[in-house]
Structure 1
Amino acid sequence: MYARSAPWGADGAPRPLGISDELAPGIVAAHRNVIIVYVGAELATAFKNDPAWGRYIREIVELGAREQVKVYTVLKEGFDLASSRIGELLGDTQALTGALLHEQGSLGREVSQAITQWITGTSQIRVFISHTKHSSLVETDANSGANIAQRVRDVIRRTHLDDFFDAQDIQAGDDWEAVLDGNAEGSALLMVRTDKYAGREWTQREVLTAKTADVPIVCLHALTGGEDRGSFLMDHVPSVPCSLESPEGGIVAALNSLVDEALKRALWEAQRVYHESDGFDWLPVHAPEPVTLTQWLRVHQREDPGDEHVWIMHPDPPLGPQERDVVKSLCSLAGFTDSVEILTPRTFATRGGVLPS
């Protein structure tokens, strides 16, 4: 990710983007390229009066016609794109709502969501709100799971996220696991973790199903009195604190994080095929943990009974030493004693990009 605005050379246009041609020998264009054009009076003037800038913007529009390139525009507040000459060129480009520039994190969410939808081919990201209607003795109606879930719905309605899907309101006969698995590509789970959330059978099932489907999960921590013991099913996910006096800030931050997780998943899925060719057995979107590892090991034993090694790659950051030891111990108990490797792209590269022979 980089910015282009300062002149490059004698004319007023920035340096090339490195998509049509290599920026330097060996630096090839990315498989996916996103260009965001911030359009205001200054750019419109440069486009109109400076031939170099005119060529630069026209080249961006031409790049946008390529399959591996997507161009978005962000409009400066008060700028009328339709009445400008640059608007004639950029008018058909998908715009990201300029008013969101005033809301912290909202523009980033819009950008991440747009890229995710482009890569996955989905129309929108669907948010599953997981909460419990059961309250502890110290919780009030204002800070109950049901109330905070409603506040989440209110915030979602002001975004471009898909209509929420409340798993607690599934109709009789619906199969929650089938619904989530069938929509995993464009779905994400938001845990509204109030005092009784971790101990409820239904919420545990929701989180377990979401982890098994490898969909994005973010926890919105909204505890009042605390938990008796929590649940090992609920951890190992990004978490955002929620102020019960003023929960909207935490809700917005959690939704922003959830969209970021959806983008990470989309990018990992797009590059998974390249890592599979390196010989890895498992390429989960999230770092392995006992909850997901045990289920995967069961399938791996059944599908490849003669295999004695486990080679896992997951996105950065890497697991800590103690976490790796637990993963290796579980693999050993499952009978994989030959070689257990848990790597990320970065740690794999430091080893020369080669697995044990």
Structure 2
Amino acid sequence: MIEWLAQQWNERHFPNKTEEVVSDPTRPFFVVYVAWHPGFTDGGSIAEAIRGHFRRELYENVAGGTGLSVVFRSLPPPGDSIPLDIDFDEAHATAIVILTDGTLAAAPQWVAYARALGERAEATGLHVRTFPVAIHQTVLAPLNMTEQALRWDQWNGDLQTRTKRLLSELTYEYCRMLRHFLARLQRPDEDEAALEAYLRKVQIFISHSKHDDAGERVARLIRDRLQDGHGLASFFDVHDIPAGLRFHKVLLLQVRVSAMVAIHTDTYSSREWCRKEVIEAKRHNVPLVVANCISDLDERGFPYMGNVPVVRLDLDGQDRINVVIARLLDEVLKDFLWRCRIALSAETADPAVIFIPRPPELITLAALPPEADIPAPIIVYPDPPLSTEEERLFAEIAPRVQLRSLTEWLSGAVR
């Protein structure tokens, strides 16, 4: 009976997808494992920080449940000296973070455990990756792992500062993984080499006003940090809209693979091109972060800069640049998680069903097809559902449009 129900679910939601992708609708699509030797004093706190970061509400709404699944591998079962093995078939994509300190490097069975995970991951494919974290430089030689390690030992700062850096580095790596995973879902017949051709850089638009020195200066700081950061330049293509080129010709050709940082200085809202950039980003559901750099006042707040994360960035607080970039990475990862989840758990062939990666707002209506083409569109967005007040406003302005959170839609809540 259970097998029959699973088959019916698959036939309804995945009429064109391969058996490999849809064999189990309850199978998580992305699971994170954190492994560390129990003798590593700070291992537990670092692992808890990873779990707290990726299970917070930010990711719950796009990944479902309580956010990303984060599983620990540290304490071995009774009578053994290493933790339980990791089953790569339990999820569609698996990331394994190995906190490698001197205690682990001095334990032969743990070294063998870490090496075996790396070798198995390499043989499995790019949807399974191991990420060694070198707590001390001396651990790399004993491990002899071929994966490029995250160099905790070379970062500055105390435990809390380095942990924040690790969270950003992992978020970036997970973005890379899910970009590849999404390409594999969309092109299941392509081999790994062919898929690489489809993996374009994620475009980053730094939207700022050129009519004050602050906007230019902050834009350069963010651009330099992205281009100089570990691996970011190979993943992101950082630029703004060059002067002299037609806005729509440049932006609209690339916006669907973009993310945007809007540097909100005092003159930002008064500039026509800045407003156009934000509106186009909103119309195409681009991941967007606002860096609030207001120093005095904004004469007319721009309404379309709402419904997205806002990070306070003092003009003299260069240390907050990392916070802006970390939040941008979060938004990019959320976008990939949402698109993967839709590809795995929802039927996308119905043109009347429109999936968007964040809660709808009135500008969402501007991107809908004409009523003659789709009389009754259904907008599906990440949980939780909108408030009653927001739904009432939509009902008054666009009564033909149905708004449903993903959970509501999957449960059949349509009129």
- Calculate the TM-score normalised by the size of structure 2: 0.69
> 1:120 and 1:13 mapped to 2: Cα distance?
32
2:129 partner SS: strand
| Structure 2: stretches of 5+ with no match in the other structure | 1-69, 181-198
The answer (yes or no) to whether the contact 1:207–1:234 under 8 Å persists in 2 is: yes
The 5-angstrom pairing of residues 116-155 of structure 1 reads 116-121=175-180, 122=199, 124-135=201-212, 141=213, 144-155=214-225
1:164 matched to 2:164: no
The answer (yes or no) to whether the contact 1:120–1:186 under 8 Å persists in 2 is: no
Partner of 2:383: 316
Letter in 1 for 2:209: T
1:191 partner SS: strand
1:276 matched to 2:347: yes
Alpha carbons of structure 1 residues 311 and 134: separation in structure 2 relative to 1, 3 Å:
same
> 2:366 and 2:255 mapped to 1: Cα distance?
21
Letter in 2 for 1:150: R
Partner of 2:149: 95
| Percent sequence identity over aligned pairs | 25
1:30 matched to 2:91: yes
Alpha carbons of structure 1 residues 153 and 63: separation in structure 2 relative to 1, 3 Å:
closer
Partner of 1:239: 310
2:132 pairs, out of 73, 76, 79, with 73
> Shift of residue 165 of structure 1?
0.2
Alpha carbons of structure 1 residues 341 and 123: separation in structure 2 relative to 1, 3 Å:
closer
1:113 matched to 2:172: yes
Alpha carbons of structure 1 residues 111 and 125: separation in structure 2 relative to 1, 3 Å:
farther
> Shift of residue 39 of structure 1?
2.0
> 1:241 and 1:329 mapped to 2: Cα distance?
35
> 2:135 and 2:253 mapped to 1: Cα distance?
39
Partner of 1:250: 320
The answer (yes or no) to whether the contact 1:242–1:249 under 8 Å persists in 2 is: no
Partner of 2:269: 198
Q: Whose RCO is larger (CA < 8 A, sep 6+)?
A: 2
> Shift of residue 211 of structure 1?
1.6
Q: Deviations over 1:130-170 (max 9, x none)?
A: 100224xxxxx4xx211222222332233132352022xx1
> 1:70 and 1:79 mapped to 2: Cα distance?
23
1:96 partner SS: coil
The answer (yes or no) to whether the contact 1:220–1:250 under 8 Å persists in 2 is: no
Q: Deviations over 1:162-188 (max 9, x none)?
A: 352022xx153x444444444446431
Q: Deviations over 1:246-266 (max 9, x none)?
A: 321322111100011001101
> Shift of residue 125 of structure 1?
3.9
Partner of 1:63: 121
Q: Deviations over 1:198-241 (max 9, x none)?
A: 12110011111112222210000010111112111211110100
Using the TM superposition, name which of 313-322 and 264-273 deviates more. Answer: 313-322
Alpha carbons of structure 1 residues 175 and 10: separation in structure 2 relative to 1, 3 Å:
farther
Could you list the structure 1 runs, at least 4 aligned residues long, displaced by more than 6 angstroms after superposition.
Answer: none
Matched residues, number: 316
- Calculate the TM-score normalised by the size of structure 1: 0.79
> 2:218 and 2:81 mapped to 1: Cα distance?
51
Letter in 1 for 2:210: K
Partner of 1:355: 413
The 5-angstrom pairing of residues 334-345 of structure 1 reads 336=400, 340-345=402-407
The 5-angstrom pairing of residues 31-46 of structure 1 reads 31-46=92-107
Alpha carbons of structure 1 residues 108 and 318: separation in structure 2 relative to 1, 3 Å:
farther
Partner of 2:194: none
Partner of 2:7: none
The answer (yes or no) to whether the contact 1:71–1:94 under 8 Å persists in 2 is: no
1:276 partner SS: coil
> Shift of residue 344 of structure 1?
3.5
Partner of 1:264: 334
Alpha carbons of structure 1 residues 30 and 45: separation in structure 2 relative to 1, 3 Å:
same
How much is the aligned-residue C-alpha RMSD, in angstroms?
Answer: 2.6
Partner of 2:195: none
